[in-house]
Amino acid sequence: MKFNKILESFFTYPAETLEGGVEAAQRVEGALISKRPLLVAENYLNTLGPGLTTGAADDDPSGIATYSQTGAQYGFGLIWLSLFSFPLMAIVQEMCARIALVTGKGLAANIRTQFPVWVLYVCTSLLFVANTFNLGADLGAMAKVTQLLAPRFDFGLLVLFFAVASLLLQIFTTYARYAQYLKYLTMTLLAYVVTACIIHIDWSVVLYHTVVPTLSFSKDELLLVCAILGTTISPYLFFWQTSQEVEEEILHGRTTVASRRGATHEEIRQMRTDVWTGMFFSNVVMFFIIAVCAATLAANGITNIATADQAALALRPLAGEWAYLLFALGVLGTGMLAVPVLAGSASYAISESFGWKTGLYRKLNEAYAFYGVIIVAMIVGLALNFVHLDPIKALIYSAVANGLIAPVMLVFIVLLGSNKKLMGAHVNTRLTTTLGWVTTALMVVAGVAVLVTL
């Protein structure tokens, strides 16, 4: 192959660049070699989309509260769950994304065509209940952390403000711009990583507890295990992942199911890169939240987080008197990230169940029913904050609720991904199917254990 052809396959250098002979060609080749890492990095970042957003949304206020309580109550004892849950979470989300790419439809739409209709109604009903409870807990937590900075603000008015702000963002912002905002909001979670780097942590102890699981099977520990699994392997993420893969396809001009059906191996590869990156980010954040809270809160005798200001103390070594501000920004950022995902995933599921027009790319007058479900979910979540729920405890209980409901959804995800007639060449491998069922079984065991202890 001619040298200028090789160059053009990497960059848009004109052929005239090579007219200076071998020396000029060598200079251009040197420039290519020096820039290739940047090109690789750019291509990698360009593959990140729904997977990264989904992974970041997983570390919502409910997740932050659950991981913080875990570190405070059990120190490093349960940090192994951050490593343990990563491949299970990634495999489940990869199955969801692959189902969407191959079929061109969301998860609810696929359940509707492959299973009896009552199955779909049960799934969407459970999802709506779990999502609205989780949504309400997140709104309440956002209001509480705002009061850390401005105690005179009324709790009810703050909850209403965040609910309205989130609704306006979903209804009047295009999906392309909306997704861009979501990516930037994920950066607020890095405060825990920075804190872990500046405080004294015996990393040999952390490493031991990361790779050697320990479990006492006490009531409180089982509750937290179920909550951790529920807030990492969450039902709303299953529906959101599939729906956003479809939205990405629509943004590229594939506006009909027929045009979206099927996927190339390159599309599947890029999706896997995106999904595994997002899930890795989610579990890394979980790891550092548990580690930081174990080294700061548990080490100082704070073993039960009952208020937002107690949770914020974990960041004091980094931010000093500004700890409340940093914690509040983290909760507000992830809350604004997760609340639309919770309401949106419920709407995708219900709208697909009834065959309504769906999609955040549509305007309000094009999908009244779709946006109507979002509004109803927000209203119900908002109302939950006025029945005297403890905002911090509600976050953990919402994670437990997700842990109890997730196994039901996982059964149908594994069955769909293993359906060769539906998935064709992209059907689950034997290993993927096995791990899918293992994940389902573990979620069932954790849920049953919690119910028995209660």
Domain total of the chain:
2
> For the chain, first and last CA: distance in Å?
71
Choice between 24 and 263, residue whose per-residue pLDDT is larger: 263
Q: What is the pLDDT of residue 379?
A: 93
Q: What is the pLDDT of residue 306?
A: 80
Do both 22 and 88 map to the same domain? no
Q: What is the pLDDT of residue 34?
A: 58
Average pLDDT, the chain: 83
Q: Convert 394-413 into a string of H (helix), E (strand) and C (coil).
A: HHHHHHHHHHHHHHHHHHHH
CB-CB contact of 73 with 298 (8 Å) = yes
Assess if residue 52 is contained within a domain: no
Do both 4 and 142 map to the same domain? no
Q: Could you tell me the pLDDT band of residue 7, with boundaries at 50, 70 and 90? A: very low
pLDDT digits (tens, 9 = 90+) for 115-130: 998 998 998 998 899 8
Q: What is the pLDDT of residue 359?
A: 82
Do both 101 and 198 map to the same domain? yes
Instruction: Please tell me whether residue 357 adopts helix, strand or coil conformation.
Output: coil
Do both 125 and 79 map to the same domain? yes
pLDDT digits (tens, 9 = 90+) for 358-370: 887 788 888 899 9
Do both 402 and 360 map to the same domain? yes
pLDDT digits (tens, 9 = 90+) for 305-346: 887 788 888 888 876 777 888 888 888 888 888 888 888 889
Assess if residue 178 is contained within a domain: yes
Do both 117 and 32 map to the same domain? no
Do both 70 and 26 map to the same domain? no
Do both 39 and 76 map to the same domain? no
pLDDT digits (tens, 9 = 90+) for 61-110: 888 889 999 999 999 999 999 999 999 999 999 999 999 999 999 899 99
Assess if residue 53 is contained within a domain: no
pLDDT digits (tens, 9 = 90+) for 426-452: 999 999 999 999 999 999 998 888 888
pLDDT digits (tens, 9 = 90+) for 269-300: 888 988 898 899 889 999 999 999 999 888 88
Please state whether the predicted TM-score (pTM) of the whole model is above 0.75: yes
Assess if residue 373 is contained within a domain: yes
Q: Is the pLDDT of residue 17 over 70?
A: no
Q: What is the pLDDT of residue 281?
A: 87
Q: Is the pLDDT of residue 14 over 60?
A: no
Assess if residue 98 is contained within a domain: yes
Assess if residue 74 is contained within a domain: yes
Rounded to an integer, the average pLDDT of 148-170 is 90
Q: Is the pLDDT of residue 375 over 60?
A: yes
Q: Is the pLDDT of residue 378 over 70?
A: yes
Do both 11 and 153 map to the same domain? no
Q: Is the pLDDT of residue 5 over 60?
A: no
Q: What is the pLDDT of residue 96?
A: 93
The first and second tokens of residue 311, run together, are 């949770």
Q: Could you tell me the pLDDT band of residue 53, with boundaries at 50, 70 and 90? A: confident
Do both 123 and 31 map to the same domain? no
Q: What is the pLDDT of residue 250?
A: 81
Burial string for 32-46 (b: 16+ CB within 10 Å, else e) reads eeeeeeeeeeeeeee
Query: CB atoms < 10 A from the CB of 325, how many?
Result: 15
Residue 233: CATH number of its domain: 1.20.1740.10
Assess if residue 51 is contained within a domain: no
pLDDT digits (tens, 9 = 90+) for 396-428: 888 888 888 999 999 999 999 999 999 999 999
Q: What is the pLDDT of residue 350?
A: 92
Assess if residue 49 is contained within a domain: no
Task: Look up the domain containing 17 and give its range.
Answer: 1-43
Do both 258 and 404 map to the same domain? yes
Q: Is the pLDDT of residue 389 over 90?
A: no
Q: Is the pLDDT of residue 261 over 80?
A: yes
Do both 4 and 86 map to the same domain? no
As a whole-number percent, the residues of the chain with pLDDT over 70 amount to: 86
The first and second tokens of residue 278, run together, are 């997002």
Q: Could you tell me the pLDDT band of residue 4, with boundaries at 50, 70 and 90? A: very low
